[in-house]
Structure 1
Amino acid sequence: MLSRLFLLPKSLIFCLLFQNLGSALADTPPYFNDQKFENGEYGAYPMQKFRSSNVVAPHVNILSTHSRCDDGSYTMFNPRGSAVPPEARGPIILDSRGNMIWTITGYGQTYNLMAQMYRGQQYLTFWSGDDAIEGHGSGQYIMMDSSYKEVARFRAANGLAADLHEFRFTDAGTALITVYDVQPANLTPRGGSPDGYIWDSIFQEIDIETGKLLFQWRASEHFDLAESYHALGNRGSKGNPWDFFYINSVEKDPWGNYLISSRYTHTVSYIDGRSGDVIWVLGGRRNMFTDLSDGRATDFAFQHDARWHDNYSAISIFNNGAEASGRQETAHFSRAMKICVDTNYMTAKLDTQYINSQQISSSSQGSMQILPNGDVMVGYGYNAAFTEFAPNGVVLCETHFGAASRFHTGDVQSYRVMKFNWTGTPSTDPDIAVVNRSAYISWNGATEVHQWVLETGDERSAAGYQAEIRWQVVMKAKKTRFETKIELPLDLGPYIRIVALDTEGRSIGATKAARVEQLNMASSYKLGPADTQALPFLVFCVSLISFGLIYSWVVKVTRRSWKEQGYSKLTLDDV
């Protein structure tokens, strides 16, 4: 048989050697500048599944990268949209290279994943609920500790519905939340009914420990309906209220006052924390600032995510510049902005703009976050993209988690995309699956795993095998992405386990001990993305192998027939 192998073409030998190439990796790395991804040839929302875990991860496309982005922090977002299946709509944590770190299901639609500090401890927070309420939400706020255990749920005070747009902790141990409430209003100044209805924007400050309401503010008590840029249209009834303000961010400063963003009035406003009075307004019809940048510091529209910076002398926003209802575009593309404000002289000046290389226009949602090193993380809301910029506005790293060909459709989106330091220490054990003498290991949420160690052992006594196993190290493997593959040797003892080590070589967790004889070394598994992509290659190899074997058999039979008929092979001397 070996001699016959050498009669086969070299391409056939190549296939024989590499016919299992498609399943060589436990999970596959992110795409890099892949035009097929951008064209939607892998679907509107490319995903990958794993052998050891049932989690579903986004399979992102990295368009550009830089070492500054690989700073040890993690990207957090909440994919949603018509192309995102229910099992993939949980909060997501990725590392700086686009690899899955953690997700969870069972919370329905989620928004606004963040890592926040409360009483010296870090927690994950996000909103969960019904988001199909005219762009608002009715749900609850979730708080998880570093082991991903849910430790608290919050709702809005006064029996109101907790909205999705904001859930932000303050240094005083309180939380700022947004609420939308239907209220009667005279809409005749906008051509509507005197007995009309509005969605009134509210923000509340609540005590995290007790849930007690500490402060509440209503937009309708401080802003006139005429200040809105949102068309009334056919809205204004009780069943279809008109949203004139649309609050989408709240932040509190050390003086007890609040900075809020209103999408539909194109304003960032400063609110007195005792009376609720409006101290000043930046942008919109009531703009109180002299623009030192020829209008570029105050001409933002439909913006999101207003935050203080530089010792409360600068404000960052995500300037959408376009509005989904009627496509009232005020700019050709969205951009993040840092605006310097002097509240003594009431001047505003555009400091820096952050513009995506593809000049994405996002009609809704979006975020801007200035990171501790000065870089800027920008999420594009309605479009499945996020970009990290240098402080001067140069693009460093750009990632898409949905096909660019499906931008502007709502197929794939995330309200915000943010970046945080985070240490995840799951209370669960690592997950393991054994397929064809290969072990696949993952640990959903674990950020501290550096190496996996395969150990084998035998029983010391007949009493309680797990506690009495003597473990010996077989091999070590560096953790690779979410799931790592380890080839199992043939000479294993009766039990195996895989131990997780941190960067100091300390054990931080282990799979449960398993009997080798109970492991299905030849088990089958559902084909994953890497396998399906390899199928055409495998079919070609099988066809080539079959042709080679048939050709070899035909040649052998023909030669035997010629020999039986008296023919002999000529040499050069016979010619």
Structure 2
Amino acid sequence: MTDVSRRTLLLGSAAAVVAGGAGYLVGARREPDEPAPASAVKVPKYRSRPDLDGLPDVTITTAAAGTVPGHVFLTPFAGALRGPLIVDEQGSPIWFKKVPDPATVAIDFKVQRYRGRPVLTWWEGTIGGTGGQGVGQGEFVLADESYREITRIRAAGSEQADQHDLVLTDRGTALFWVYDPVRYDLSPVGGPSDGVLHDGVLQEIDIATGRRIFEWRARDHVTLPESYAPLPQGDSAHLPYDYLHPNSVSLDRDGHLLFSARHTWGLYKVHRTTGEVIWRIGGKKSDLRVDERSSFSWQHDFQRRRDGSYSIFDNGAGITVEREYSRGLIFRVDEKAKTVTFVAEHVHPQRLSAPTQGNFRELADGGTFIGWGQQPHFTEHAADGTVRLAGHLPADNQSYRAYKAEWPGVARDQPALGLRVDGGNVIASASWNGHTGVSRWRARAGGQPGALSTAVEAARTGFETSLTLAGLPEYVVVEALDERNQVIGSSSAIPVRT
């Protein structure tokens, strides 16, 4: 069998111009008789960072008491500004990074640990596939607390990493999927004898060296008749048949591998060393008896929970619709009795149905956080299923997954400053993309950059905070203050133009 080049679907987008430097002056000097109609001037969303003008709004619809501390991690998929995004519980941005054009997206943005330190990880690449099912060609990025890139994790061999999941292990390795197109005889299932199969390849890579530690190929263990996905037809008959569509990987308590395969409706436990399938749950060849309330389809994100139960995001819809709404599903597995029994389900208040994507993760207090995939929503639930935080991206956007975690971000660059004149005063707009330690802002003004005596302060109010300086000074600088009122960063001194 030989490898076949992949077909890719480039995602077109409008280019965004990213402004550099630590300060921005909104508006320019003009001659007194030059007309300046108000309608011709577009007011940026963030005066200190006009390059983030196209950042999608995140709306919070439910904010109850008792939420777990942390920030929300998203990957806006549409628009000119696509990339990893952190927001607070009010929906205000904390950090954003635009991924490169053309046609690049970010997916699966989350906090993990590497060499004992918290890191950010996300996938960058392009999305293609057949039958509307996303197949990624790209690589994973690891960044430290200062958002500096540590390394990029790439698949071994000639193929590229798929976007669906990345797990960093305490061995210093990374687990992820590769969708490998191989020549394959599909005639036993009604396809062409010279067909192409998307083989699900699970790789474990040593992060420091890029060396392949372990590899598992689905076609050696999971048969084609187990799939619920239809074969490509007609002119598309020789496109890769995505019979498995693996979309998550995780580790069980005993160190063996857990993964979800969307197109077989199957959950699998695989021996970490031999690669043998220990058991299957769901689909056409389940090794365990699944009770009615625990049955699932087109699912994502198979995880072991701290109390020994398991969870998935049960889409209930995909190529077909099997359930009216999607849900976070929790169940117990009795390996001796070979049974799967229902524990609980968590549902969006709007009974959302997400035909693609999504995730369901346990929080520190036993609650859960759900990303609703194709539906641009996220929810945090108490242990009893009560919604205590709910929000969403714009309706024309989506985030493959959504996570909640604490993050100690320390930006390397300077705070940004935008200035505008309003009547006889100057409005200073301050922000610091990525720094989570800012409690207050101070603006200082004066006649020279080294002699800024006038000062005003204000509590941080979201991504950007505005401060009003009386009169028209020559220069302004802003300083970021921590909770002890100590200066932790300062912008450049920016001249005021009237």
* C-alpha separation in 2, matches of 1:91 and 1:470: 39
1:85 correspondence with 2:79? yes
AA matched with 1:217: W
1:435 to partner: Cα distance: 0.5
Q: Which deviates more, 313-322 or 472-481?
A: 472-481
**Aligned partner of 1:111 among 107, 114, 139:** 107
The count of aligned residue pairs is: 444
Partner of 2:204: 205
1:370 correspondence with 2:350? no
Q: Which runs of 5+ in 1 are unaligned?
A: 1-46, 404-410, 460-465, 523-575
Q: Secondary structure at the match of 1:58?
A: coil
Partner of 1:99: 92
Taking structure 2 as the reference length, the TM-score comes to: 0.85
* C-alpha separation in 1, matches of 2:218 and 2:439: 50
1:452 correspondence with 2:441? yes
* C-alpha separation in 1, matches of 2:74 and 2:44: 17
Q: Per the alignment, do residues 199 and 237 of structure 1 end up closer, same or farther by CA in structure 2, a change over 3 Å counting?
A: farther
* C-alpha separation in 2, matches of 1:506 and 1:120: 28
Partner of 1:39: none
Q: Which deviates more, 335-344 or 198-207?
A: 335-344
Taking structure 1 as the reference length, the TM-score comes to: 0.74
Structure 2 matches for 1:523-534, cutoff 5 A?
none
1:113 to partner: Cα distance: 0.5
* C-alpha separation in 1, matches of 2:234 and 2:431: 50
1:320 correspondence with 2:315? yes
AA matched with 1:59: D
Partner of 1:132: 128
Q: Per the alignment, do residues 280 and 457 of structure 1 end up closer, same or farther by CA in structure 2, a change over 3 Å counting?
A: same
1:238 to partner: Cα distance: 7.8
Partner of 1:75: 72
* C-alpha separation in 2, matches of 1:235 and 1:402: 37
**Aligned partner of 1:424 among 403, 409, 429:** 409
1:153 to partner: Cα distance: 1.1
Q: Secondary structure at the match of 1:476?
A: strand
Q: Per the alignment, do residues 239 and 187 of structure 1 end up closer, same or farther by CA in structure 2, a change over 3 Å counting?
A: closer
- Does the 8 A contact of 1:453 with 1:475 survive in 2? yes
AA matched with 1:343: E
* C-alpha separation in 2, matches of 1:413 and 1:78: 8
* C-alpha separation in 1, matches of 2:322 and 2:234: 23
1:295 correspondence with 2:275? no
AA matched with 1:330: E
Q: Per the alignment, do residues 48 and 364 of structure 1 end up closer, same or farther by CA in structure 2, a change over 3 Å counting?
A: farther
**Aligned partner of 1:344 among 312, 336, 341:** 336
* C-alpha separation in 2, matches of 1:114 and 1:451: 27
* C-alpha separation in 1, matches of 2:217 and 2:234: 20
Partner of 1:510: 490
Q: Per the alignment, do residues 235 and 116 of structure 1 end up closer, same or farther by CA in structure 2, a change over 3 Å counting?
A: farther
Partner of 1:20: none
* C-alpha separation in 2, matches of 1:205 and 1:310: 24
Partner of 1:276: 275
Q: Per the alignment, do residues 239 and 193 of structure 1 end up closer, same or farther by CA in structure 2, a change over 3 Å counting?
A: closer
Partner of 1:223: 222
1:471 to partner: Cα distance: 5.3
1:241 to partner: Cα distance: 1.2
- Does the 8 A contact of 2:60 with 2:89 survive in 1? no
Partner of 1:330: 322
* C-alpha separation in 1, matches of 2:141 and 2:416: 25
Per-residue CA distance 1:1-56 (angstroms, 9 max, x = gap): xxxxxxxxxxxxxxxxxxxxxxxxxxxxxxxxxxxxxxxxxxxxxx9821110213
1:208 to partner: Cα distance: 1.1
1:129 to partner: Cα distance: 0.8
Partner of 1:476: 457
Q: Secondary structure at the match of 1:338?
A: strand
- Does the 8 A contact of 2:428 with 2:443 survive in 1? no
* C-alpha separation in 2, matches of 1:176 and 1:362: 26
Partner of 1:489: 470
* C-alpha separation in 2, matches of 1:235 and 1:344: 46
- Does the 8 A contact of 1:193 with 1:236 survive in 2? no
AA matched with 1:355: V
1:389 to partner: Cα distance: 1.1
Partner of 1:190: 189
- Does the 8 A contact of 1:205 with 1:214 survive in 2? yes
1:451 to partner: Cα distance: 0.4
AA matched with 1:340: R
Q: Per the alignment, do residues 231 and 149 of structure 1 end up closer, same or farther by CA in structure 2, a change over 3 Å counting?
A: same
Structure 2 matches for 1:43-58, cutoff 5 A?
49-53=45-49, 54-55=51-52, 56-58=54-56
1:420 to partner: Cα distance: 1.0
1:272 to partner: Cα distance: 0.6
Q: Per the alignment, do residues 172 and 479 of structure 1 end up closer, same or farther by CA in structure 2, a change over 3 Å counting?
A: same
Partner of 2:118: 122
1:397 to partner: Cα distance: 1.9
When you count helix as a share of all residues, which structure comes out higher? 1
AA matched with 2:410: T
Structure 2 matches for 1:117-266, cutoff 5 A?
117-134=113-130, 135-234=134-233, 239-253=238-252, 255-266=254-265
Q: Which deviates more, 148-157 or 186-195?
A: 186-195
- Does the 8 A contact of 1:424 with 1:446 survive in 2? yes
1:133 to partner: Cα distance: 3.2
Q: Which deviates more, 53-62 or 210-219?
A: 53-62
* C-alpha separation in 2, matches of 1:454 and 1:208: 44
AA matched with 1:399: G
Partner of 2:36: none
Partner of 1:537: none
- Does the 8 A contact of 1:385 with 1:402 survive in 2? no
Aligned-residue identity in percent: 34
Q: Secondary structure at the match of 2:162?
A: strand
Per-residue CA distance 1:79-129 (angstroms, 9 max, x = gap): 11xxx222x211111001111111111433111111111112111111111
Task: Choose 1 or 2 for highest CA Rg.
Answer: 1
1:352 to partner: Cα distance: 0.9
Partner of 2:390: 398
Q: Secondary structure at the match of 1:64?
A: strand
Q: Per the alignment, do residues 452 and 176 of structure 1 end up closer, same or farther by CA in structure 2, a change over 3 Å counting?
A: same
**Aligned partner of 1:60 among 58, 67, 77:** 58
Q: Secondary structure at the match of 2:263?
A: coil
Partner of 1:306: 302
AA matched with 2:442: V
- Does the 8 A contact of 2:192 with 2:237 survive in 1? no
* C-alpha separation in 1, matches of 2:351 and 2:69: 28
Per-residue CA distance 1:261-304 (angstroms, 9 max, x = gap): 0001111100011111100011111112233xx4222x200100
1:63 to partner: Cα distance: 2.3
Q: Secondary structure at the match of 2:332?
A: strand
Per-residue CA distance 1:358-386 (angstroms, 9 max, x = gap): 11111110010111122211111111111
* C-alpha separation in 2, matches of 1:133 and 1:161: 14
Q: Per the alignment, do residues 303 and 385 of structure 1 end up closer, same or farther by CA in structure 2, a change over 3 Å counting?
A: same
RMSD: 2.0
Partner of 1:563: none
1:435 correspondence with 2:420? yes
* C-alpha separation in 1, matches of 2:298 and 2:88: 31
* C-alpha separation in 2, matches of 1:235 and 1:121: 51
Q: Per the alignment, do residues 397 and 254 of structure 1 end up closer, same or farther by CA in structure 2, a change over 3 Å counting?
A: closer
* C-alpha separation in 2, matches of 1:153 and 1:451: 35
